[in-house]
Amino acid sequence: MTIDKQALEDALDFDLFAGDFGDSDDVELSNKIVTGRGEYTCFICYGTIVKGEIHRSAVHKFDGELMTYRACNECCKAMVSSVNYDFADDNDDGQEPIDARYALGESMYFGWEYQEIIKALCDGRLVLAESQEAAQ
Ligand SMILES: [Zn+2]
């Protein structure tokens, strides 16, 4: 599944934030394709980046705070496709593969949130308005 570093270099051209953080306080300190020395979480799909996986690591400074963003191998490949616009050939609907990776991350993220809500309901930290009324 892993492709070599050279093939992923194009992923570096993919704008990670697509204008979301357009303010001048954002400074990109580094942006490179690296080999993982530990386990990380991909910030796009929320998947695990395993040790030894070739992935993108970008360090940014937002409001004086250093943030490292890591994108897994699969997401990097999707970025390469987006950068090179070669997705149009394989995909009838022309959807960018990176959008599918972001969608995956969103479903994982909301899955986690959902689990947190269920946990909070179970141990009584969170009470729904409706059940409050029912209890009275
Ligand atoms: Zn990923």
- CA-CA distances (angstroms) from residue 68 to 2, 14, 16, 84, 90? 22, 16, 12, 25, 32
Averages of pLDDT over each 10 residues, the chain, 136 residues: 76 78 73 96 94 95 88 95 72 74 85 78 79 55
> What is the whole-number distance in angstroms between the Cα of residue 63 and the centre of ligand 1?
25
Closest CA to 101 of 64, 65, 32, 49: 49
Residue 17 and residue 119: Cα distance in Å, rounded?
Answer: 32
Domain extent listing, the chain: 5-135
- Tokens (6 digits) for 70: 């890591």
Residue 116 and residue 119: Cα distance in Å, rounded?
Answer: 5
> What is the whole-number distance in angstroms between the Cα of residue 62 and the centre of ligand 1?
22
* pLDDT at site 64: 84
> What is the whole-number distance in angstroms between the Cα of residue 28 and the centre of ligand 1?
20
* pLDDT at site 20: 57
* pLDDT at site 2: 52
* pLDDT at site 111: 76
* pLDDT at site 131: 55
* pLDDT at site 94: 62
Residue 111 and residue 113: Cα distance in Å, rounded?
Answer: 5
Residue 5: what residue type? Answer: K
* pLDDT at site 21: 52
- CA-CA distances (angstroms) from residue 3 to 54, 86, 107? 8, 17, 26
> What is the whole-number distance in angstroms between the Cα of residue 41 and the centre of ligand 1?
8
> What is the whole-number distance in angstroms between the Cα of residue 49 and the centre of ligand 1?
8
Determine the Cα angle at 55 with ends 54 and 58, to 5°.
145
* pLDDT at site 86: 65
Name residue 24's beta-bridge partners: none
* pLDDT at site 1: 46
